Chains A and B, each alone.
Chain A
Amino acid sequence: MIEDEQLTVDRTINGRSRALLQSVFREDRFFLVLSVFIGIFSGLSVVCFRFAIGWCRLYLLGSGAVLTTSRLLLAPTLAGLVIAALVIHVFPQTRGSGVNQTKAALFIYNGYIPFRTAIGKFITAALAIGSGHSLGPEDPSLQIGASLASVLGRKMNLSRDRMRLIAPVGAAAGLAAAFNAPISAVLFVIEEVIGRWTAGILGSVVLSAVSSVVVMRWFLGSESLFRIPVVQLERPSELIAYCVLGVVGGLASVLFSEGIATLRPRCKALPLWTQYFQPGVAGLLIGIMAVLGAPQVMGAGYEAMDEAMHGRFTWQFMALLAGLKIVATLLSFVSGTPGGMFAPTLFIGAMLGAAVGGAEHVFLPHLNVSPGTYALVGMGVLFAGFLRAPMTSVFMVLEVSGNYSIIVPVILANTVAYLISRGLQPVAIFDLLTRQDGVDLPSMEEQREEGVLHVEDAMQRADGRVVEARETVGSALQLAEKSSADDLLVKLAPNGWGIVAKKDLRRMLAEGMGELDLNSVVSGVRVPYLHPDQALETALRYVDRWAVVPVVNRADLWRLEGVISERDVLERYREFGEG
């Protein structure tokens, strides 16, 4: 008896504690906590990745700023051969863009990214970048973060919805740590990977990005990626000069994208045995460029960007470097060497910007041109034009420089470049890569630009369909008989709507209910209402249950703007589909 009572008490306590734990660890809350851990793991991994790149660079290329010819030629070539063997035999998943693989995890594989991908990307990208291949560490960092997040999510037995989102959460953490820029990382992932905002997604992405940046700063310091003097826009006429930079950047973006669009399929179509040599040959050609006087094109190129900002190079040389970097990055990327295009994009933009600034300084000496400012704006321009992430490009420039004073030129030049690039190259680079790989992932840019139908596009006029609730059934039927519509909308106090069919009114009249007011007949059932600006798909939720749905003014819910029925909605969609 006593044992039974004890057992009952224990069970009650266990039941309560379980309930408490379940309420504390509701999946949405748990997901937020997990996001912090994803950020920590991603931050730590990215720090290790940076160390690995540093060590590869040191042992493969040497410790000085000036490198020997033999190392310049041998390091990228031999590393390329090793990377090719690793990619073909050990880590086949490391080919391609980390952004697209994260999107694929989100939209195709329910958040699954193999852990092997993270390890492969870590090793091969560190070797490639450290040996001088013209690629950047950001995209691999993003993928390492996404892969780690995917592993954690699987171990935690998350629901399918959460699992799908976990890869982008890790991607944001990886990118934030790589760039030391949490806002840009969050924006990029929302803008380019997930494509939508909700409080839950935003909270997780922000938490992971912030925690990874905190970890990264703990180990590598909190300095901005670039340091340039504060510059003031003294005359509005200077904005014209930045517009010119936007045009040049837009055209360069198109050239870069076209290069990838043309060369990548051709390289992939070459016989299989050539894939063992493609990264090596790319490395050799990049080494030759370096030996011939442009070692700046090797690796991510952050040091060269910093030097460009400090006016070390002539504008002609910087223009040349921009061109060579496009070629070097094309070689590295299309040969299948793992690595990202963020840093090369920034490099090309910085060099183009500084070159345009330098040229303007020569030809228009009255303009207050600072190479550092132009280089910084140039980075944003290429980011907007080539990667097609206009919002991210603006915040990225602000974050990597810690300099708010150039916001106006950045916005202007980025917009110009984005519009030119979009006009001349309709398919964004990430979409181009997925299509080349035979995958149909949703294009965030196309989604942004897609025309959205609204309720007002399908609604019909409501002439003669509205009656007051105080009207009797008889008078309402008289009104209904004059109208061609089968249903009347009834204004219900204080601000709702009801509906009554013509046939029901006839039936009620026949049953002797002609003197009853409509309020007593329809007040129990209120019809949902819509607003003209709501998406047409919202109407689909109601039109199958209600013959007509009132479309009312947002400021006055009794003011009817129109009505909408299932037929109207379908008809409008049909017209839209026919173009």
Chain B
Amino acid sequence: MTAGRVEELRAYLRQQPAMLALVAGLAVVFFLAVTGLSRAYQAQRESLGSRWFGRGVADLKAGHFDGAVTEFRSALLYSPDDYSYQLNLAEALIGMKRTAEASTYLLTLWERQPDDGLVNLELARIAAQKERTDQAQRYYHNAIYATWPDDAEGKRRDARLELIEFLLQNNARAQAEPELIALAENIGDDAAQQRQVGDLFVRTLDYERAFAFYRLSLRLDRHNQAALAGAGSAAFQLGRYPEARRYLQSAVAGNSDDAESAALLKTTELVLAMDPFQRQISMTERNRIVVEAFATAGERIKGCGALQSLSAAKSGQPSPNESWAKMKPRVTAAGLQRDPDLVESAMDLVFEIEREASVSCGAPVGKDHALLLIAKLHEGN
């Protein structure tokens, strides 16, 4: 290479293209150096973030929400966009009842992942607390149809259960019932869950379905006290007293502390003992029951001042009090033997007296309650 050529090469190198190439090389070196630095920096931050997060999770589990909030905030210093850090912070804030702040975080998370089950569920709970029914229902529905990381079916079922509970607490039985039916279709062979569904059907006053679920529950666990009591109660409400007696007897036998079932059983037995229209009783027994019921109605009149003071009806019909007094001489075992039709008219009068008394003098108890239930049972017959 001649000296001239070397000089020319040097001149080229001093020119802009060569300088640019040099700058490009420097940029590559700088870039690689910053990449190394960045890795070290990010690794340190990740480590710090997960350390603070770990502490926060421990505090959250222990119910130390205040500490958990500080620790999750510290973790977020190192990874401000971390989804689980934010979610846990929101949960800790909810634990501290700082729902306004929590809901802002949750809404941010919701925007990022609108199909996150837990975020929707927490938002639904906050909306429910604030009594924003429509919003709560929307988030609950989102949670029911959202994605869950594990045990999706269970989480969805729980979300629906919470929704039903929320609706029932807000007296929205009509909205709760379809949710409950949907829930009932999705539960498996789990006695406790079937019993729980039965309980919820009782709260929606759908005793037929409630009874069916209690029975399903009992098929899987025949000694389940709550299911026995529930089945007895549902059967009682349906007027299926023989079945009610059977379940309630089992419930009381299994749990003598179950006062509610015991009271229901007592009433059930009274109903069964005082119903003259049962098929498998003799005529003598039936007449005895009618006489007793008639006497009970008479006692009810005596105990109910409002009923006594009723004079002849404006329509010209005699009052129940007067009718009872008029019929009393005939309602004896012999009288009923002689006149079988008197059974029906005597019981009609008894039912009428019990109905009137329940309106005028409050809820009946004991035999009066049993007679009222028998009246309802045979209504329309």
**A residues adjacent to B (C-beta < 8 A):** 14, 21, 24-25, 30, 33-34, 37, 40-41, 44, 47-48, 51, 54-55, 58, 63-66, 152, 155-157, 215, 219, 221, 223, 227-230, 303, 306, 309-312, 371-372
Minimum Cβ distance to chain B for residue A123 (Å): 16
Give the residue among A37, A64, A152, A303 with the most B Cβ atoms within 10 A.
A64
Inter-chain contact B77/A303, CB cutoff 8 Å: yes
4 A-B pairs besides A152-B23, A229-B108 with CB distance below 8 A are A25-B15, A64-B71, A65-B77, A311-B100
Q: Is B107 a contact of A312 with CB atoms below 8 Å?
A: no
Answer whether A48 and B20 are a contact pair too, CB < 8 Å, given A64-B52, A229-B111. no
* A310 with B17: CB separation less than 8 A: no
Q: State the CA gap A353–B76 with chains docked (Å).
A: 24
When distances are taken between beta carbons in the complex, the residues of chain B under 8 Å from A65 are 70, 73-74, 76-77
Q: Is A33 in contact with B20, judged by CB distance below 8 angstroms?
A: yes
Please give, as numbers and ranges, the residues of chain A lying within 8 Å of B44 by CB-CB distance.
58
In the complex, which residues of chain A have a beta carbon less than 8 angstroms from the beta carbon of B305? none
Residues in B with CB closer than 8 Å to A230 are: 111
Task: Knowing A37-B24, A41-B30, A229-B104 are in contact, say whether A54-B16 is a contact too (CB < 8 A).
Answer: no
> What would 7 A/B residue contacts be, using CB atoms closer than 8 Å?
A37-B20, A63-B74, A64-B71, A64-B74, A65-B76, A215-B31, A372-B104
When the two chains form the complex, which single residue of A37, A152, A229 contacts B107, counting CB atoms closer than 8 Å? Answer: A229
- The answer for the CA separation of A14 and B15 in the assembled complex, in Å, is 14
Q: Which one, B35, B48, B104, contacts A311 given CB within 8 A?
A: B104
Whether B37 sits at the interface, judged by CB under 8 Å, is yes
The B71-91 residues at the A interface (CB cut-off 8 A) are: 71, 73-74, 76-77, 80-81
User: Are B19 and A66 interface neighbours, CB within 8 A?
Assistant: no
Which B residues are CB-close (under 8 A) to A219? 34-35, 38
Quick check: B27 and A54 within 8 Å, CB to CB?
no
Q: A51-B41, A306-B80, A311-B100 are in contact. Are A155 and B19 (CB under 8 A)?
A: yes
Cα distance A303–B72 in the bound complex, in angstroms:
13
Judge whether B104 and A30 touch: CB under 8 Å.
Answer: no
B134 within 8 A of A: no
Q: Which residue of B lies closest to A50 (CB)?
A: B41
Taking CB atoms and an 8 Å cut-off, the chain B residues in 34-88 that contact chain A are 34-35, 37-38, 41, 44-45, 48, 52, 70-71, 73-74, 76-77, 80-81
Residue with the highest number of chain B CB atoms closer than 10 Å, among A30, A33, A227: A227
Contacts of A14 in B (CB 8 A): 8
Closest residue of chain B to A220, judged by CB? B38
Contact of B37 among A48, A64, A223, A229 (CB under 8 A): A48
- The reply to whether A156 and B16 form a contact with Cβ atoms under 8 Å apart is yes
Query: How many angstroms from the CA of A303 to the CA of B78 in the assembled complex?
Result: 11
Q: CB-CB < 8 A to A372: which residues of B?
A: 104
How far is B101's CA from A311's CA once the two chains are assembled, in angstroms? 5
Report the nearest B residue to A310, measured CB to CB.
B104
Contact status of A37 and B74, CB under 8 A, knowing A311-B100, A311-B104 = no
- Give the distance in Å from the alpha carbon of A159 to the alpha carbon of B31 in the complex: 28
Closest chain B residue to A64 by CB distance?
Answer: B74
Q: Which residue of B lies closest to A51 (CB)?
A: B41
User: Smallest CB-CB separation from B28: which chain A residue?
Assistant: A40
Centre residue among B16, B30, B81, B108 by max chain A CB count within 10 A: B16
- The interface residues of chain B lying within 8 Å CB-to-CB of A152 are 23
Would you give the 0/1 interface string for B130-152, flagging 1 where the beta carbon is closer than 8 Å to chain A?
00000000000000000000000
Which of B34, B80, B81 touches A44 (beta carbons < 8 Å)?
A: B34
CB-nearest residue of chain A to B78: A63
Rounded to whole Å, the gap between the CB of B27 and the closest CB of chain A is 5
Question: CB of B105 within 8 A of chain A?
Answer: yes
Binding site for A on B (CB under 8 A): 8, 15-17, 19-20, 23-24, 27, 30-31, 34-35, 37-38, 41, 44-45, 48, 52, 70-71, 73-74, 76-77, 80-81, 100-101, 104-105, 107-108, 111
Contact A51 B101 (CB under 8 A): no
Cβ–Cβ contact A30 & B16, under 8 A: yes
Contact B105 A310 (CB under 8 A): yes
**Which residues from A are CB-within-8-Å of B27?**
37, 40-41, 44
Using CB atoms, name the residue of chain B closest to A25: B16
B77 x A227 contact (CB < 8 A): no
Cβ A54 vs Cβ B107 within 8 A: no
Considering the chains assembled together, what is the distance between the CA atoms of A33 and B24 in angstroms?
Answer: 11
Contacts of B19 in A (CB 8 A): 155-156
B70 touches A54 (CB 8 A): no
CA gap between A371 and B100 in the complex, in Å:
11
Query: Contacts of B30 on A, CB cut-off 8 Å?
Result: 40-41, 44
Which residues of B sit under 8 angstroms from A311, Cβ to Cβ? 100-101, 104
- Residues of A contacting B80 in the complex (Cβ-Cβ under 8 angstroms): 223, 303, 306
A44 touches B31 (CB 8 A): yes
Inter-chain CA distance A221–B27, complex, in Å, is 20
In the complex the two chains form, is B70's CB within 8 Å of A66's CB?
Answer: yes
B34 x A47 contact (CB < 8 A)? yes
**In the complex the two chains form, what is the Cα distance from A53 to B186 in whole Å?**
55
> Shortest CB–CB separation between residue A7 and chain B, in angstroms?
10
Cβ distance A59 to chain B, nearest Cβ, rounded Å: 11
Instruction: Write the nearest CB–CB distance from A376 to chain B, whole angstroms.
Output: 13
Bound CA–CA A14/B76 (angstroms): 61
A223 touches B81 (CB 8 A): yes
- Among candidates A51, A66, A156, A227, residue contacting B74 with C-beta atoms closer than 8 Å: A66
Query: Chain B contacts of A58 at CB under 8 A?
Result: 44, 48
Closest chain-A Cβ to B4's Cβ sits at a distance in Å of 10
How far apart are B13's CB and chain A's nearest CB, in angstroms? 12
Q: Is the CB of A227 within 8 A of B34?
A: no
> When chains A and B are docked, how far (Å) is the Cα of A486 from the Cα of B20?
60
**Pair A51/B38 contact, Cβ less than 8 Å:** yes
Nearest-Cβ distance from residue B100 to partner chain A, whole angstroms: 5
Contacts of A44 in B (CB 8 A): 27, 30-31, 34
- B105 nearest CB across to chain A (Å): 6
Q: In whole angstroms, how far apart are the Cα atoms of A309 and B15 in the complex?
A: 53
Q: From A302, which residue of chain B is reached at the shortest CB distance? A: B80
**Assuming the A-B contacts A25-B17, A155-B19, are A54 and B34 also in contact, with contact meaning beta carbons closer than 8 angstroms in the complex?**
no
Min CB distance B92 to A, Å, is 13
- B38 to nearest A CB, angstroms? 5
A378 CB, nearest partner CB in chain B, Å = 16
Chain A residues whose CB sits within 8 angstroms of the CB of B31 once the complex forms? 40, 44, 215
Nearest A residue (CB) for B69 = A65
> In the complex, A531→B107 CA distance in Å?
58
Contacts of B8 in A (CB 8 A): 14
Residue of A nearest to B52 (CB): A64
Contact of A310 among B41, B70, B108 (CB under 8 A): B108
Residues of A within 8 A of B100 (CB): 311
Residues of B within 8 A of A63 (CB): 48, 52, 74, 77
Q: How near does chain B come to A106, taking the closest CB pair, in angstroms?
A: 22
